[in-house]
Structure 1
Amino acid sequence: MLVLKFGGTSVANAEAIRQLISVLQEKQNPHMLVVVSAMSKVTDLLISLYQKAAAHDASYLDLLTQLEAKHMDAIEQLVPMSQQIDIKGRIKMIFRELEDICRGVYLLDELSDSTKARVMAYGERLSSAIISVALQHHGLPNTLLDSRDFIVTDSTYLNAKVNLKATYALMQENVPKVALLVAPGFISRSQTGRTTVLGRGGSDYTASLYAAALRADLLEIWSDVDGMYTTDPRKASAAYSIEELSYEEAMELAYFGAKVLFPPTIAPLVAAQIPLVLKNTFNPGHKGTLISSSPAPSAQSVKGISCIDHMAVLTVSGSGMVGVPGVAMRLFKAVAQECINIYFITQSSSEQSITIGLAEAEGEKAVQAISQEFAEDIAQELLNPVSLETPMSIVALVGDGMIRQPGVAGKAFSLLGDHGINIRAIAQGATERIISVVVNSQEAHRAVNLLHDRFFLPVAEPAEVIQA
């Protein structure tokens, strides 16, 4: 079985969907499941829709009209005129449901996370319905699924946690055994029967869940780029696509900002040992990036450089931390209670300071939570006031080749130091496959370029001096 996932740009309009159809027509696999995202920018428009309705802004109706026109236009270009009545009727019914929800938000001044999830789910419901019908009319008969009937989650509506055991059981028992299936990504259902979503980028995760449950031979994720790059091409023009990565390398790069892949996607594939290929819908001849448990050996010690911008660095320090058990626990508990994600942790060997990296938008909230937790220690001057530095960036070097390979960190630190880039904090994972540094955001672009040139571009040999 082959599972394919097509992202928002791959289903952005009728032209993109025709290219998706062309990709599927080239496939020879007798059993395929296609997972699709919402059309490009639609999820953002749906968020604006409920925001406007909640703010009593009647222009939400204009957005509804715009969204409906976008989807009707795709139908008119993809489906023969004589066959449009049924699918247009279904789409109009979906939009009337959506309009009723938004009218309720507008009138009642009530917007829960549950309602937000219901509204956001319409993007994938619409795109999958249209793509299913378009495939039918291009010689690809298929069965349309509703992923909410299979993916069971908790009630964290906007970033739901999947119950893997229940989800896999439903998929294995109830997914039809037909040649071609189409399913919406991103959407799921809580154990109480309410619509939830898997977080932005969650359609990748949807596809990996189907692949793992149905024991697929391969998962292909199709977007508008030629796989995973050595670094963000917007930061370093010399970046190029990576041929092969291990699961672990891909997870690290995705976590540290490689947006071509949603980080949780890899975990179900690792457990099931299913390889993943990242491909470009608009350049299907490019081999893309293969991610597996056993990538081909590479002479490259560093496989990729990632960078996360808009970060904050928060430091707790003071002599009152030395030899006192539980300080780190209290810090992490205070942050966790505010549902703040920590990207980076480092502690001085003297135990006098702990530094964490987190999203800049959550910096002040984290300072308040930690200051409150340690208020008595700060008042007694056992700890210094919590320090917050912004704007910062985390630059990470990733590669299995760094394991037990001396000198990589030294080269990176020396290079940045020689070019006057101050490293605010350093962390290295216990696996040795990642080294991350925190730098001022103004220096991040230059740091990425310097590191990329050092580790990925050939070093010119010094010219031979010819004696006269």
Structure 2
Amino acid sequence: MQLFKFGGASVKDAEGVKNLAHVLSTVGYSNTLIVVSAMGKTTNAMETVIANYFDAKHQLQSSLQDIKKFHNNILLDLFENEQHPVFETVDNLFQEIVLFFDHNKSPNYNFVYDQVIGFGELISTTIISHYLNKIGITNTWLDVRTFIKTDNYYRNAKVHWNQTQELISTHVDTSKLNITQGFLGSDSNNFTTTLGREGSDYTAAVFAYCLNANTVTIWKDVPGVLNADPRYFENAELLHQISYTEAIELSYYGASVIHPKTLQPLQRKEIPLHVKSFLNPENEGTTVGKDLTLNPKVPCYILKNNQVLISLSSLDFSYIVEDNISHIFSLLHDYKMKVSMIQNSAISFSVCIENNYDNLERLLLHLKAKYKVSSHKAVNLYTIRHYNQQAIHDMEAEKEILLKQITPEIVQIITK
């Protein structure tokens, strides 16, 4: 049993879908389950649709039509006959979106987000499943929401493992080629939930764990796991192998190749993870597994941009002690802030956060009732794992440094 995950970049157009079929034909697809993301930048486009629903209803229809046109062009490239049933199936999915908007009564942005955003995955897998069947790669389309059950923490739902394990192990026929959606689940009321952005990798890990898979392969537009994101750093190097622990550390600090939650279920059952290029499927890529040493042993660079740095001190210059820190973290939790870095001294406390839920101003107002507060928005957090002095020197060059923290394995630098 093997799990394959294909991201949006791998199926961004008709040629990408054809290449997915080529990858399957090249490496084999018996006893395989495929997890697929939304096509190209569809998730971003869906977010625009959701924003228009709340703030610009006059643009709602046109933004949805743009997404429909994008997918229809892919359909026309893949299917010669417009009478093919896939056209009607995809059209019905778009009609479901319209129906939801027409009947929705909830003002909760996060709830609405989860009910709409996942149609990108539902549409992409529908198209791909029909295309594979058309060219003779017989497969079964699965609605992931009937298998992965979660709580109702919309936009970052937590998996209910026992229920999910029972559903997957009982109802997935592993002797067949199956295709399903990444990123999605459903709560106890069968409302759609999402596992967090980039959660498709995690979906593959959930299925691998529940099915006792032999391997998981993530197919990407890079050769494997690199020591730096080539979009931001020059001369990125391929890491041929890394341990689960190393990969978890890199994920924790924000490395984008592997989703932070993906590795834990794989590590628990010692399921190897491969990260390979969908452009060169026969290349070895990167293997993540138990007790593997980092090869090559080079500094690993991570950038998290658009962060917020908050610095606090007590109004009366008293020490920042345990009860203060507990209070601060309680507020960060209440306002759904993701903490990327902390640093404290006797009378000050600094925290670098991600304002994913747009609660920053309310948080700052709350903090100012008890602390002297300063903040810097849109800062960059650089992390170097396995650093050397040259790596630090290169990172600091021509940057305004707001905060710096060094441990034996990690250096973190916050810049404007």
1:411-436 CA-to-partner distances (Å, cap 9, x unmatched) read 6667767x57665434456xx54x13
Name the SS for the 1:58 alignment partner: helix
- The AA in structure 2 aligned to 1:14 is A
Q: Which residue in the other structure is 1:388 paired with? A: 375
Structure 1 residues 22 and 151, CA gap change in structure 2 (3 angstroms): same
Work out which of the two has the higher radius of gyration on C-alpha atoms and give 1 or 2. 1
Structure 1 residues 393, 66: closer, same or farther in 2, change over 3 A? closer
Distance 2:275 2:174 in 1: 25
Runs of 5+ unmatched residues, structure 1: 379-384, 400-407, 442-468
Query: Greater shift after overlay, 192-201 or 227-236?
Result: 227-236
Instruction: Identify if the C-alpha distance between structure 1 residues 141 and 29 changes in structure 2 by more than 3 Å, giving closer, same or farther.
Output: closer
Q: Aligned in 2, Cα 1:63/1:285: closer, same or farther, shift over 3 Å?
A: same
Query: Match of 2:84, SS?
Result: helix
1:33 aligns with 2:20: no
Query: Residue 423 of structure 1 contacts residue 437 of structure 1 at CA under 8 Å; is this kept in 2?
Result: no
Give the deviation of 1:363 after TM superposition: 5.0
Q: Does 1:332 align with 2:329?
A: yes
Which residue number corresponds to residue 96 of structure 1? 95
Q: Which residue of 2 aligns with 1:22?
A: 22
Distance 2:321 2:262 in 1: 39
> Could you say if the C-alpha distance between residues 150 and 416 of structure 1 is closer, same or farther in structure 2, counting changes exceeding 3 Å?
closer
Matches within 5 A, 1:150-189: 150-189=147-186
Share of identical aligned residues, percent?
Answer: 27
Could you tell me how far 1:27 is from its partner in structure 2?
2.2
CA distance in 1, matches of 2:141, 2:282: 28
Q: TM-score, normalised by structure 2?
A: 0.90
Q: Contact 1:53/1:103 (CA < 8 Å) preserved in 2?
A: no
Aligned length: 413
Q: Which amino acid is 1:85 matched to?
A: H
For the residue of structure 2 that corresponds to 1:231, the secondary structure is coil
Deviations 1:73-96 (A, max 9, x none): 3233223528x4322121122122
Report what 2:86 is aligned to. 87
* C-alpha contact (below 8 Å) 1:4/1:33 kept by paired residues: yes
**Equivalents in 2 of 1:43, 1:164: separation in Å?**
26
Listed one character per residue, the Cα deviations across residues 374-402 of structure 1 (whole Å, up to 9, x for unaligned) are 2xxx5xxxxxx122234432221224xxx
* Cα distance in structure 1, aligned partners of 2:111 and 2:360: 27
Tell me if structure 2 keeps the 8 A contact 1:392–1:438.
no
How far apart are 1:353 and its partner, in Å?
A: 2.2
Which of these residues, 352, 355, 358, is aligned with residue 357 of structure 1?
Answer: 352
What corresponds to 1:398 in structure 2?
385
| 1:305–1:190 Cα change, 3 Å | same
- Corresponding residue number in structure 2 for 1:317: 313
2:77 maps to a residue whose letter is Q
Listed one character per residue, the Cα deviations across residues 49-102 of structure 1 (whole Å, up to 9, x for unaligned) are 2322333533322233332232233233223528x4322121122122112223
1:304 alignment partner, one of 296, 300, 306 = 300
Distance 2:27 2:283 in 1: 15
Distance 2:289 2:299 in 1: 14
Q: Secondary structure at the match of 1:59?
A: helix
Distance in 2, matches of 1:412 and 1:135, equals 47
Partner-residue secondary structure (3-state), 1:315: strand
Return the letter of the residue paired with 2:100.
I
- The runs of 5 or more residues in structure 2 that have no matched partner are none
Cα 1:390–1:206 shift into 2, 3 Å: same
Instruction: Check if 1:208 corresponds to 2:205.
Output: yes
> After the TM superposition, which of the residue ranges 169-178 and 210-219 deviates more from structure 2?
169-178
Q: Which amino acid aligns with 2:127?
A: I
TM (norm. structure 1) is 0.81
Partner of 1:437: 412
Q: For the structure 1 residues 115 and 331, does the alpha-carbon distance in structure 2 shift closer, same or farther, using more than 3 Å as the test?
A: closer
Written as runs of structure 1 = structure 2, the 5 A alignment for 1:200-239 is: 200-239=197-236
